[in-house]
Chains A and B, each alone.
Chain A
Amino acid sequence: MLLSLKIGGVAVLGALPVAFLLAWILARIRFPGRFLLDGLVHLPLVLPPVVTGWLLLIAFGAHGPAGRFLSDVFGISLLFRWTGAALAAAIMALPLMVRAIRLSIEAVDRRLEGAARTLGASPLRTFLTITLPLSMPGVLAGAVLGFARSIGEFGATITFVSNIPGETRTLPIAIYSALQIPGSEHAVARLALIAVALSLGAVILSEFLARRGRNAERIGHVL
């Protein structure tokens, strides 16, 4: 349970800058190959999670290119570690986060950015003082959704880092394991209840943040 929260938290914090960068590129830059990038970002959403997990296994395994790089340079391996579970969760959460953030960046009135420029703000300052705060509701909503998605991740995680108690046994994997043992209906029910509560809370919170963002537009408050 705590492990799930830790994995979900690390996954979202790690994925957030990447998701924001991707969302910004997709929202603002027109370049050839944009549709390919869009497709790649969305791939984990439509691919069977087992396939994503297997691809991660290939890439980050002892002989995979990314795995070899990590073990040569940093002497670490993600395989069968909670960090690997966080990576799988982050990749699975990325599409949802990019979608939410991209919508909020597209909703920022670019003419406000022009106004900031005429008042003496450099492009970077304009981004930090206008674009970023105005897209913040979407960023927070994306983070909450991504967190819920991370906690629920099962297929890619179990394929990539297996099912190790205390290391990679996240909430859904714990439920699955308990189901394998006869007479553990109470344990399953308890875990499932936790999962429902967490997911429901996340959806309500993300909806609340998105609504608050829209209100901010209307009455001029901001988070």
Chain B
Amino acid sequence: MSFEVDIHRRVGERTIAARFEAGEGITALFGPSGIGKTSILTMIAGLLRPDGGRIAVNGQTLFDDEAGIDLPPEKRRIGYVFQDARLFPHKRVRANLLYGYDLAPPEARWMSMDEATSFLGIAPLLDRWPRSLSGGEARRVAIGRALLSGPRFLLMDEPLSSLDSARRDEIMTVIERIRDEVKLPILYVSHDRDEIDRLANTVITLGT
């Protein structure tokens, strides 16, 4: 098993809770907007603390309130592709890509800068500023930045939202190649059924 997740957290009046296990390939978290899919990802990433429960990846416990384990985000080795690319505006594309790469211990890296740029087709963008990129370009750079940090698994939050259909196809192809060639487990959040049917190996439907 890649992911074992059993967490809950109160947000205002509601409780966001999720319990699932997920294996190889792409596991989709599917459900309507506002149900707390992004909150679940941020809790797995360590940016939001669950009220209780347990999160483990490849047998390593990242969070367990009973055992008092709560690894900080920088120790979890997760690649998080945010819904809004979230590139650093004061760094050029190259520096954005190298941010996590430089911080990863050399033995944790499994992709080089050259591999990432040719894999994603972003070599011509290296000297650009994030603000000058189109939505699709920014998305690809964000994926590259996450892959270069040497993650053991990937969290993707609506990576196709607000892209036109040509760009969507382009990014979907990239995601399929990560699934099939890199064989990195991906937890994928979406509210789009078609997208999930094409990409996901396992679908977890979140209900109200």
Interface residues in chain A, defined as those with a beta carbon under 8 Å from any beta carbon in chain B: 111-112, 114-123, 125, 129-130, 133-134, 216-222
The answer to whether B132 and A118 have CB atoms under 8 Å apart is no
Give chain A residues whose Cβ lies under 8 Å from the Cβ of B79: 118
Interface residues in chain B, defined as those with a beta carbon under 8 Å from any beta carbon in chain A: 42, 45-47, 72-74, 76-80, 82, 86, 88-90, 92, 99-100, 103-104, 129-132, 145-146, 149
A133 and B99 CA atoms in complex are apart in Å by 15
Subset of 26 A-B contacts with CB under 8 Å: A111-B82, A111-B86, A114-B47, A114-B73, A115-B80, A115-B88, A117-B46, A117-B72, A118-B45, A118-B73, A118-B74, A120-B77, A120-B100, A120-B103, A120-B149, A121-B103, A122-B72, A122-B74, A129-B99, A216-B89, A216-B90, A217-B89, A218-B131, A220-B92, A220-B130, A222-B89
Give chain A residues whose Cβ lies under 8 Å from the Cβ of B130: 220
Give chain A residues whose Cβ lies under 8 Å from the Cβ of B82: 111, 115
Mostly, the A contact residues are helix
Query: From residue A110, how far is it (CB to closest CB) to chain B in Å?
Result: 10
Query: From residue B115, how far is it (CB to closest CB) to chain A in Å?
Result: 18
The answer to whether A134 and B47 have CB atoms under 8 Å apart is no
A125 and B88 CA atoms in complex are apart in Å by 14
Query: From residue A211, how far is it (CB to closest CB) to chain B in Å?
Result: 16
Give chain A residues whose Cβ lies under 8 Å from the Cβ of B72: 117, 122-123
* A-B CB contacts (within 8 Å), total count: 73
The answer to whether A112 and B88 have CB atoms under 8 Å apart is yes
Contact A220/B132 with A117-B72, A120-B104, A121-B74 known, Cβ cut-off 8 Å:
yes
The answer to whether B90 and A133 have CB atoms under 8 Å apart is yes
The answer to whether A118 and B78 have CB atoms under 8 Å apart is yes
Give chain B residues whose Cβ lies under 8 Å from the Cβ of A119: 74, 99-100, 103, 145-146, 149
A122 and B71 CA atoms in complex are apart in Å by 12
Give chain A residues whose Cβ lies under 8 Å from the Cβ of B90: 133-134, 216, 220, 222
The answer to whether A220 and B89 have CB atoms under 8 Å apart is yes
Give chain A residues whose Cβ lies under 8 Å from the Cβ of B149: 118-120
Give chain B residues whose Cβ lies under 8 Å from the Cβ of A121: 74, 99, 103
